[in-house]
Structure formats: C-alpha cells, structure tokens
Structure 1
Amino acid sequence: MSIVYGMAVFFMIWWIVLFAVLPFGVRQSQHEAGDVVPGSEPGAPDMPRMLRVIIGTTIVTTVIFLSYLWVRESGFSLDDIPFFTPPSDR
C-alpha cells in the first residue's frame, strides 16, 4: 500500500468516524441553556467540545485503520473463513 493510498483511506475513515462520534457528549442545546449566540442555530450544542471530539475521532480511526491494514497485509481472504463456502460450478 502506498503512503498516499493509506492517507486517503485514513482520511475517509476519519470523516465517517467523526460524524459517528459528534453526538456523543452533547449535553444541551443553546436554546435549552438559554444562551443563544446571535446568528447561530438555537439547536446547536451549548458546549461542543470539538478538541475532545477530534482527539477521540483520531484515536478510534487509528485503531480501525490499523485493523484494516493488518487484515490487508496478512493476506486474509473470504476463503479462509470456514463457514463461507463459495458457490460451486455445477
């Protein structure tokens, strides 16, 4: 796997994980807190804690990417799964 290909895969996984992690830890909206910033959506989080989200996303993505890299480089295929039987030609 080339470095550019690896970076592209990591980037795509990072964005997918980011949108999965974003809702975690959100306590209340600006409207619920009673402190709506002018020009923003009242349903926006009161304290988004983006640094925590970015660090968590990077850690989760690194684990997923290293797992992907291990499976890819180990030569694992569907034929290695005992319960998977490819269709036979009859």
Structure 2
Amino acid sequence: MSLAAAVVMLVMIWSLVFFILLPLRLQTQGESGKVEEGTHSSAPEVHHLKKKALITTAVALVIWGIVVAVILLDVFAISDFDIFHRMGPTGGFH
C-alpha cells in the first residue's frame, strides 16, 4: 500500500465517520425556541462541530489502523470472496 493510498483511505474513512456523527446531539433553533429571522426552525443552534471533529478523528484513526493492518498482513485474499468459483488455484480467472 502506497502512502497516497493510505492517506486517501484515511480521508474517506474520516469523512464517512464525520457524516455519521454530524446529526447526533444536534440542537435545532426550533428546539431552543430562538429561531432567527430568515432561517428554518430546523437550522442548528448548537452543533458541537469541534467536539465531533475530534471524536471523528479518534474513531477514524482506529478504523483506519484496523483496515491498514488487514491489508498489510494479507488477512484476506480476493479468492476468499470468490462466491461463484471463477478464479483458478493461482488466482487468475479461467
């Protein structure tokens, strides 16, 4: 695995985890009772972005470490996922 591939994988995992955490514990303007003129009541009042970014970084690094370890240690091979038995013993397609 190249360094560029590792960085791209980290960015992708970080983005996915961030979008999963983004709506959690979100307090809207409607819930707080202070709706600004010209905005929807579902607009965020308290979003905790800094805290969510830090949690995302920690979770993403753990997931990324596991994925990189699985890739570098060759835990799985493509032939392990060949459910239609199309690959020969050497790994090539028949």
The TM-score bracket by the shorter chain reads 0.7 to 0.9
1:87 to 81, 85, 88: 85
Q: Distance in 1 between matches of 2:55 and 2:49?
A: 10
Structure 1 segments unaligned to the other structure (5+ residues)? none
Count how many residue pairs are aligned between Structure 1 and Structure 2.
86
Q: Percent identity?
A: 28
Query: Structure 1 or 2: larger strand share?
Result: 2
Q: Distance in 1 between matches of 2:29 and 2:83?
A: 54
Q: Is the alpha carbon distance of 1:36 and 1:2 closer, same or farther for their aligned partners in structure 2, counting shifts above 3 Å?
A: same
C-alpha RMSD of the superposition: 2.4
Q: SS at the partner of 1:46?
A: strand
Q: Is the alpha carbon distance of 1:24 and 1:57 closer, same or farther for their aligned partners in structure 2, counting shifts above 3 Å?
A: same
Structure 2 segments unaligned to the other structure (5+ residues)? 89-94
What is residue 7 of structure 2 aligned with on the other side? Answer: 7
What is residue 67 of structure 2 aligned with on the other side? Answer: 68
Amino acid at match of 1:87: H
Q: What's the TM-score once normalised by structure 2's chain length?
A: 0.74
Deviations 1:42-74 (A, max 9, x none): 202221010011001111100110000010011
